[in-house]
Amino acid sequence: MTQTRSAQGRPNIILILADDLGYGDLACYGNDVLRTPHIDRLASEGVRCSQHYTSSPLCAPARGALLTGRYNHRVGALSVESNRGLDRIALREQTLGDVFSAAGYATGYVGKWHSGLFDLRHHPNRRGFAEFAGFLNGIMDYWDWIFDYNGQTRFSDGRYQTDVLTQEAVDFIDRHASEPFFLHLAYHAPHTPLQAPEEDIARYQGTPGICDAVARLYAMIDRMDQGIGQVLAKLDSECLTENTLVLFTSDNGPWLGGHNHDGKRVELARYNGPFRGMKQDVLEGGIRVPAIVRWPAGLPAGTECHDMIHFCDWLPTLSAAAGATPNGRPLDGVDAIKALSGGGSLSHVKRFWQHNRYDPVLHCNMAMRDGNWKLYWPRIPEAMVKLREDNDWAYRLVREPHRLMPVSNPPVERELSLAPTPQLYDLSDDPLESTDLAVREPERVLRMSREADAWFESVERDRVDAFRTLGINT
C-alpha cells in the first residue's frame, strides 16, 4: 500500500521543462518515430495528462505563469523581448523558488531562465533559487555555450549543452540528497539551433517521412531523454525515487514553420497529435502540451488524468504536495492533486489565453475554455510582428556574456486590422478545431465572450500596474 505524505516526510520536487516540445514529440503521446524510453518510464510509473495547458504559446510568458501560479499578464511577463523588459516577472511576485526556500527546501535552477535579464534583481539567485547554473537568455548555442554559475560567467568546455545541464542536475541531487530539495531543470531542447551529437542524429536520418531538420530536432529530444534517464538513475541510486515528485512538461507547443539552418530555409512540420496550430497560436497545437507526474509515494502509477490542468495550477499543486504555504498575491491556479489521483474533477475551472507582440490587443489570438467548449479569436496579423532590432538582441547574447543595462519599452506604432469574429469549438468531438459552432450557439458565444472580456480587463489592469513597478513604459 502506498505510504502517506506524512509517513514519508516532505517529498523532493523535480520540475523538468522542455523548450518548444509539442504534444506529439514523445513516444508516450503517440509519436511512432521518436525514442523516449525514460520519459515513457515516467508515464508508466506515474500519471500522464491528456488535457494539460501552458499559459501562453510563447516561452517567457509561459515561464512567468509556471513560476508564479498567476496568469503571465498579471505578473508582467508579456513576451520574449528582454531588451524591453517584457520577459520580467514583477519583483513583488512570489516564485516557486521563494515558496520552497521559505519552506526549508534546498532550491536549485538548472538551464534556461528567460525570466528577466540585464538587472541582477531578476537573476534566479534573487528569485528564490539558491543555486543557478545555466543561461539567462532565451536562446543559446548547444556547443559554443556561455553559462552563468551563480552570477559568474563560464565559457563552453566542448561538451554538448544538454549533457552539461543533465550533469548539473545530477550534481545538485548529489549535494542535497540528505535534505528536501526543489530542483527546476529547464532544458533548452528541442528549441533551435538544430544541433545534436552525430550519433543521435544518425538514428533518425533516412526515416521515411522525416526530413533532415526534423531528424536533428528528434535527436535533440532523444539526447534530453537520455539525460532524464541519468537523473532518474541518480534518484534510484540515492533511494530517493519513492518520495520524489518528478514533473515533466514543456513551455509551449512546437514551432512547425520555417527555420534558417546552415544558410538554408528548412521546415519543422511534424506530428503534433490531433491538433492544429503551433507555437505562438492559442489553438490547441500551440497551448496543449505534455505533462507527466510521477510520485510513487503520493500518486497512482500507470494512470491518465483527463482533467484540464493549467500551468498556473503547478505552484499550488506542488506546494500542497510539500506542505508549503504560498503567501504571495492571489493565485489563478488550483491544487490539482486530487484530480491527478483520480479522485477529483477540475471541470468547473475556466481558463483563458491571449498572446500578441508588445501591448496586448483584445480579441487577438485569444481563447477561453469552459468545460469542453472553447471560444477562439484568430490572430490579428499586424499585432504578431516582432521588430528586427528586438530579435537581434536575443542572438547577440548567444555570442556575448550577460550584461547589466537599462531596458526601454518605447511604444510600437502599428496599424491593426479589425478584430476577427470569435469561433466556437466543442473539443470533446472536435480536438482539431475544424467545425465552428458559433452560429449554432449564439448565446454561449455571447456569455463566453463577456467572461473572456472581463478576464482580459482584469489581467490588463494588473499588467499595467506590474509594468509600473518594473519601470516599463505602458
Fold (CATH) for 351-382+412-470: Arylsulfatase, C-terminal domain (3.30.1120)
Q: Residue 271 is placed in which grid cell?
A: 506530428
From 21-30, 260-269, 436-445, the region with the lowest mean pLDDT: 260-269
Q: Does residue 96 have a pLDDT over 90?
A: yes
Higher pLDDT, 391 or 365: 365
**pLDDT attached to residue 188:** 98
Q: Does residue 2 have a pLDDT over 50?
A: no
Q: Residue 139 is placed in which grid cell?
A: 536562446
**pLDDT attached to residue 8:** 56
Fold (CATH) for 9-341: Alkaline Phosphatase, subunit A (3.40.720)
**pLDDT attached to residue 474:** 62
**pLDDT attached to residue 261:** 87
d(CA 414, CA 253): 27
- 40-54, 387-401, 404-418: which has the highest mean pLDDT? 40-54
Q: In the chain, how many H helices and how many E strands?
A: 13, 16
Q: Please say whether the beta carbons of 117 and 148 come within 8 A.
A: no
Residues near 229 by beta carbon (within 8 Å), at least 6 away in sequence: 37, 38, 41
155-206 pLDDT, tens digit per residue, is: 999 999 999 999 999 999 999 999 999 999 999 999 999 999 999 999 999 9
d(CA 186, CA 133): 10
Active-site amino acid positions: 59, 114
Average pLDDT over residues 112-138: 97
Q: What are phi and psi of 182, to 5 degrees?
A: -120, 120
Q: Does residue 473 have a pLDDT over 80?
A: no
Confidence at 465, pLDDT banded by 50, 70, 90: very high
61-74 pLDDT, tens digit per residue, is: 999 999 999 999 99
**pLDDT attached to residue 347:** 75
Q: Does residue 437 have a pLDDT over 50?
A: yes
24-59 pLDDT, tens digit per residue, is: 999 999 999 999 999 999 999 999 999 999 999 999
Average pLDDT over residues 19-23: 98
Q: Please say whether the beta carbons of 333 and 316 come within 8 A.
A: yes
Q: Please say whether the beta carbons of 390 and 87 come within 8 A.
A: no
Q: Please say whether the beta carbons of 110 and 149 come within 8 A.
A: no
Q: Does residue 380 have a pLDDT over 70?
A: yes
- The residues spanned by each domain of the chain are 9-341, 351-382+412-470
Q: Does residue 6 have a pLDDT over 80?
A: no
**pLDDT attached to residue 391:** 84
d(CA 463, CA 79): 12
d(CA 75, CA 93): 7
Which strands sit side by side in the sheet containing 152-155, from one edge to the other?
152-155, 146-149, 131-135, 106-112, 181-186, 12-18, 244-250, 291-294, 47-53, 303-310
d(CA 43, CA 37): 10
**130: nearest Cα among 112, 164, 104, 166:** 104
- pTM of whole model > 0.85? yes
**pLDDT attached to residue 9:** 85
